Amino acid sequence: MTRADLAETAATGEAAQRVERLRHVARLYGDAVGIIDALRIQGWSEGGLTIAQLRLLMVLRDEDGLPVGSLAERLGVNPSTITGHIDRLVKQALVRREEDAADRRIVRNFLTDDGRVVVTAMLQIAGTYLVNILRRLSDDQLDRLERALADLNAAAAAARQEDG
């Protein structure tokens, strides 16, 4: 085997190890997300909401007044899917619809006061649960986690810019 063959084999092995490490980290991330998901699912089901409906409420909490098309874009689904969920949230008095003052063809969706209460309660429950877990980390572990999450958020933002 030549030096070039050895170098290529080593590079291929390093690339395969990198891919396996990325998969491992992705699994760890999935496990970490799952820590809070069980609690959220319980809260959603007790509140009579589906995961999709709560995701909609969360988007409206961050960007109130979005039309269906923008909501669908944010969530990566078809607008007709969003319309059905919004209909149910309107019936539950968690979302209200309003015509756009400048363009009556556009219908904007807003959280109601009850919708804000539901979202706030879910975030408080999840936040308390997560703080209880994080409290078990040392200062060094917490510093590493904070840096890693900041890096992950920065990488996600860069990926969204590349895709958008």
Long-range contacts formed by 76-85: CB under 8 A, 24+ apart: 81/52, 82/56, 85/50, 85/52, 85/53, 85/56
The string of pLDDT tens digits covering residues 30-68 is 888 777 777 666 666 666 788 888 889 999 999 999 999
Contact 68, 87 (CB under 8 A): no
Q: How far apart are CA 92 and CA 161, in angstroms?
A: 36
- pTM of the predicted model, to two decimals? 0.66
Which structural domains are found in the chain, ordered by start? 36-163 (1.10.10.10)
* Residue 59: both structure tokens together: 């988007």
CA dihedral 122, 48, 56, 43 (to 10 degrees): 20
Distance CA 41, CA 35 (A): 11
Q: Which two tokens stand for residue 107?
A: 């219908």
Low-confidence ranges of the chain (pLDDT < 50): none
Residue 143 has what pLDDT?
A: 95
Q: Check residue 164 and report its DSSP letter.
A: -
Predicted confidence at residue 128, as pLDDT, reads 86
